[in-house]
Structure formats: structure tokens, C-alpha cells
A and B are shown apart, each in its own frame.
Chain A
Amino acid sequence: MTSMDFMRATSLADAVTLLNASGLRCCPIAGGTDLVVAMRQRGPWFDRLVDITAVPELLEITETADQLRIGAAVTFARAAAHPRLRAAAPMLVEACLTVGSPQIRNTGTLGGNVINAAACADSLPPLVALDAQAHIVGEDGERIVSITDLVTGPHQTTMRAGELLTYFTFPKLPAGARSTFIKVGRRNAQAISRLSVAAVGWIDSAGVIDDVHLTLGAAQPHTERLTQVEAMLQGQRPSPNLFAAAGKMASNVVVESTGRRWSTEYKEIVIQGLVEQALTCMLGASIQA
């Protein structure tokens, strides 16, 4: 018989206290869509679950002059329906809308998606492309870490016992920035990402690419920006040839980092196409004849 206790935190301080009870292995639960399946498969790896979905701060989406802040327990559906987020980070909203089904999007949370850290987690590429930071509280106070440094590999994070992810922040994009998210799955609904790409970019007044942030999903063990490809694109005039070259380069970067394996033949073609398509979607309108 499974033995565990279940507590509902009503404030951030309450959550940290409940997660740090001495002698108990404690685990936060938000939506539970990943946790409940894992718990059923391998039995609980904790003595106590702390429900964090009644902590008001974790459910908020707010903005300051220069950044947006998303509570870790915001569901995919709430994030996707939020007017400020739809305007400020459309590709994050697009990614949220490709997660699971309406049922999953009403339950699963952005914080849970990141902390569960599945290789196919759909919110990871957009958050990394947006240079999002994770705010984490523990008994010793708050620490801030970039998503790239928080999620180190499939199902691997630098979270410590007793810590809680509270919210994400990311800088607002410059006016005129465009973004895109493209996902390859086996079907439209309920699809697990085979590969995905998240990108943001903007053109300067001279018509050349000022900056691009590119991140692939489910392609590499570690989700990170493709800085080599970004550097190659900066300062260039958008063109179909440039986008094709960027696709080719992205594919080479991934193959270099993962080595050639059984799926490489498929992945290198799809990554090349995905990156080319993402750049065309995002900056194609700025191509000058």
C-alpha cells in the first residue's frame, strides 16, 4: 500500500516550510499530469506531496516596464489565453497550444513542464529562446538561474531538495520583434514533439538582421540557443539563401553535439527544414527583392 501524505500550501512561506519538513522526502505538485503517471509506474519517490496550486503568487502573470513574469503554476491554457503573453511572446503561446489536449492544457503547468524536464517539453525551447530566468526559493532565500542552466539534460535539473520554482521572468522583446514556434509530431492533437524550433528575431532600420535567438526542442540532450547560427545571421540581409544556409548550419551543430546515431539521417534533414522554415515565417516579409 502506498504511504504518503498530501498537503496544500496556501502561501509561498507555507510551501517552503512544508517542503522542508525534517525526515520527509517532499515533492511539490502543480497539475500533476507528469507526476501522477510516473508515480503510478514506479511508485512514489516521496513521503509528502505539497500542492502549490493554491499559492496566489504562483498563478499570476504580471509585467514590469522591461520584463514579463509568469508564475510556475500557471496552466498552459491560462498562459495561452493571456492577452499580454499573446502579444509579448506569441511563440510561447503557440508552444503552449501544442501541448497535449484541452484537458492536459487545463491541468499541466509551465513550471511543471520545465521541472519535469522531458526532452520533448514544449515550453523549453521558447523559454530558452526568450532568455527566461527561473526564480527559485528555498529555506536559504531566493536564487535566480537561467532556464538553460536549470535544465541540464533529459529529466535532469539543478533543483535542490526543498526548493520550489516560483516564477519565470524574461525581458520584453524590442518593438517589431517577430517570433515563431514550429513542432513536428506524429499527429496534430496529443502529439509528443519529435523535433521543434522556437525563434525570435528583429530587423534593424537598415533592413539587416539585428538579432535572432534560435532554440531547438528534442534535438539535443541540453536545450540551448544555437549561438553559432545566431552569430552567422546577425548583420545579414534576410534572403532565402541565408535561411537555407542557417538551416544547414543548425543541422551540423546538432550532429556535432550528439554524434551520428540511428536517427541522425532523419533529424539532420528535418532540423535543416525546420530552421529554414522558422526563419522564413519570422523574417520572410523583410526579404528585399
Chain B
Amino acid sequence: MLIQFTLNGAPVAIDAPPHISLLALLRDYLGLTGTKEGCEIGECGACSVMVDGEIVNSCLLLAPKAAGHTILTIEGVTGADGSLNDLQQNFIDYGAVQCGFCTPGMVLAGEALLAHSPNPSRDEIRTALSGNLCRCTGYQQIVDAIEVTAHARRSIAAQPVVSGG
């Protein structure tokens, strides 16, 4: 069946069988392999993507359910010039990436949190990450990276706009 949706800002129309997951659609039909396949039962969060701004497990979402919605994958998370954004750079700077398998899902969970809550406490960050498992870092560095990014984004937002003169 033809499945049409918005993927990372661009319209997509793709023919795929109705029983596959959005995860399989992204990886096997659209070649976007940044979204990872971990447990396939909705426990590890490696397959996290955003649907209409909300974080979900793409392994549990049937591909046809994406129709008409706006999907954001890790490939769509970039800085203004197409390189890493501030959160991704902070993941590197704060040692929040080791094997890297959980990282796309962690970054999306972080972005989903920051979109709704620009000033999260460490507890709120931990709750936001509670659907994403990391077996390398021990989580502290991931929480640090998100906390630092939130702080920096608030500082930028708080700066007065200086007009030319």
C-alpha cells in the first residue's frame, strides 16, 4: 500500500506492505539506518522517533499508521549548517556516547523533552529518558549533556535582540 507522510521536513510517498513497522519502513525501504533496531518489543528505545513532536517507539508503530503524520528521525536532527546540533555536540563533549547504539534514540528523547520543557530538572530528564536503555555510559553523562544544552538554549533565548544602528 502507498504510505504518504512528512519525513524530516520533506514529503514522502512509499509503497510498502501494511504489516511492517515504521522502523522497518525507515531502515529497509527508505534507507535511513540512523534509527536502530534493538529489542523490537518497545523496551529499549533505540528505535525512538518523533511523531507529530511526540517520542514513540517506531518498532511498535505499524508503518501505515505514519500516513498523514510528521515524522522526525535522527537524520532530521541537525544544526543550522547541516552539521551536529548543540545537543549532539554536547553528547560528544560530555562523554555521553560510547558504543553509540542508543545515541539516536537518546538524542531524540532529549529533544522531545526540551521541546516541551526548556528548564527540566535532573529528575525530569531521567523520567524523559526512562524509555531509553544505555548499557555503556551509566546515564550520568547523557543527563549532563541534556542539562547543559537546556541551560545554553535558555541563555540564548534570554539574550536581548540587538537591532542595527
Contact of A102 among B21, B51, B55, B62 (CB under 8 A): B55
Chain A contact residue count (CB 8 A cutoff): 30
Q: A6–B112 Cα gap in the complex (Å)?
A: 29
B104 beta carbon closer than 8 Å to chain A: no
- Across the interface, do A36 and B62 meet the contact criterion of CB distance under 8 Å? yes
| Nearest B residue to A29, CB-CB | B62
Taking CB as reference atom, which chain B residue is nearest A106? Answer: B54
Report if A32 contacts B (CB, 8 A): yes
Interface majority SS on B: helix, strand, loop or mixed?
loop
A103 touches B19 (CB 8 A): no
Are A106 and B60 CB-contacts (below 8 A) given A37-B41, A189-B130? no
Bound CA–CA A189/B131 (angstroms): 7
In the complex, the answer to whether B64 meets A51 with C-beta atoms within 8 Å is: yes
CB neighbours (8 Å) of A13 from chain B are: none
* Set A39, A77, A100, A189: member contacting B19, Cβ < 8 A: A39
Decide if B131 touches A53 in the complex (CB within 8 Å): no
Q: How far is the CA of A29 from the CA of B43 in the complex (A)?
A: 20
The answer to whether A107 and B17 touch across the interface, beta carbons within 8 angstroms, is no
Q: Which residues in A have their C-beta under 8 angstroms from that of B45?
A: 101, 103
B54→A32 contact, CB < 8 A: no
Task: Give me 30 A-to-B residue pairs in the complex whose CB atoms sit less than 8 angstroms apart, sorted by A's number.
Answer: A2-B17, A5-B1, A6-B62, A29-B62, A32-B62, A33-B42, A33-B60, A36-B59, A36-B60, A36-B61, A37-B42, A49-B18, A51-B65, A53-B65, A101-B42, A101-B130, A101-B131, A102-B55, A102-B112, A103-B48, A104-B42, A106-B51, A106-B54, A106-B55, A106-B56, A107-B56, A107-B57, A107-B60, A189-B127, A190-B43
Interface, chain A (partner B; CB < 8 A)? 1-2, 4-6, 8, 29, 31-33, 36-37, 39-40, 44, 49, 51, 53-54, 77, 100-104, 106-107, 188-190
